[in-house]
Amino acid sequence: MPDFIAQWLNQNDIFTAMTLMEYWDGLVTTVHLVFLSLVIGLLVAVPLAILRTVRNPFVSGPVWLYTYLFRGTPLLIQLYIIYYGVAQIPGIQDTFWWDIFKEPLYPALLAFTLNTAAYTTEIIRGAIAATPYGEIEAAKAYGMNWFLRLRRIVLPSAARRAVQAYSNEVIFMLHASAIASVVTIVDLTGAARNIYSRFYAPFDAFIFVALCYMALTFMLVFAFRKLENHLLRHQKPVSS
């Protein structure tokens, strides 16, 4: 460790190795929670988005209702309903589900996953609906069936159109995950709240954690810009 950092660490009472470890553990929890909910949410959202574009209202209707409800209500309420609600399901405390859901991490994971899946479904649906019809006609002319068309033409081209909006959703999820601290999970915000109440130092505790979130956000923005450049390579002007 460079000398000046060691010196700085020795001079202040708040950012000792111990509190920094607390922040680190919080960071790990936040990343863990956000990453898992985004991955599962995306896996759920792709089939739902495809169902949502089906013409039959009995298929697309329920998916629409799901996305409408989860996008129209605050994530905090969804979290409360799942966190407090699961324990009230009759008989759950006798099954193995209780061992999973009595940890606050899993209700939070479920709430975040359902929420992000709803937003992602709509993002992907929009991208699928915007597929140029000529591409589909061309695929039909080649004799591709529905599934092959979806796999080779519609989804890859929708993915390119969806990536920009999806990057916003990822950042939104990272920021929304701060409310996990409300249900006693010690994520980054939870660590900051603990440290605030121990030292009564709001500026140190919360500005430091804000900087952590900012660093995570800008890393994500950078990564998504790289990904976008990669996916949209074929649209770049030839000269550059």
Partner 1 sequence: MIDLKGYGPALAEGAVVTVELAFLSLALSITLGLLGASAKLSGNRFAHGVAATYTTLIRGVPDLVMMLLFYYGGQVMVNTLSDYLWYNHEIEFFFQFDPFISGVVTIGLIFGAYMTETFRGAFLAVESGQIEAARAYGFSRWHTFRRIMVPQMLRHALPGVGNNWQVLLKTTALVSIIGLTDMVRVAEEAAKAERMPFHFFIPVAAVYLALTAVTELFIKWLDKRANVGVVQGG
Instruction: Rule CB under 8 A: say whether 50 interacts with partner 1.
Output: no
Among 93, 178, 194, 228, binds partner 1 (CB under 8 A): 178
Q: Does 189 bind partner 1 (CB under 8 A)?
A: yes
| The residue to which tokens 């790990």 are assigned | 28
CA distance 66 to 118: 7
Least distance from partner 1 to the Cβ atom of residue 34, Å: 11
Query: Mask: binding to partner 1, 194-233, rule CB under 8 A, as x and -?
Result: --x---x-xx--xx-xx--xx--xx---------------
Q: Tell me how many residues contact partner 1 (CB under 8 A).
A: 37
* AA letter at 90: P
Q: Which of 164, 172, 55 is nearest to 118 (CA)?
A: 172
Beta carbon nearer to partner 1, 54 or 215: 215
How far is 13 from 19, CA to CA, in rounded Å? Answer: 10
Kindly state whether residue 133 participates in binding partner 1, applying the rule CB under 8 A: no
Joined together, the tokens standing for residue 51 give: 């169902």
Which one, 19 or 155, has the nearer CB to partner 1? 19
Candidate segments 41-49, 96-104, 120-128, 168-176, binder of partner 1 by CB under 8 A: 168-176
Which of 20, 44, 163, 182 binds partner 1 (CB under 8 A)? It is 182
| Residue ranges in 70-129 that form contacts with partner 1 under rule CB under 8 A | 72-78, 80-81, 84-85, 88
- Contacting partner 1 (CB under 8 A), which of 139, 162, 192, 195? 192
Distance CA 134, CA 138 (A): 6
Residues 6+ apart with CB under 8 A from 127: 158, 159, 161, 162, 165
Separation between Cα atoms, residue 225 and residue 230, nearest integer Å: 9
The nearest distance, CB 197 to partner 1, in angstroms, is 9
Helices (H), the chain: 3-11, 17-52, 57-72, 75-86, 97-101, 105-129, 133-141, 146-149, 155-176, 188-199, 202-231
Residue numbers at the binding site for partner 1 (CB under 8 A): 69, 72-78, 80-81, 84-85, 88, 171, 174-179, 181-182, 189, 192-193, 196, 200, 202-203, 206-207, 209-210, 213-214, 217-218
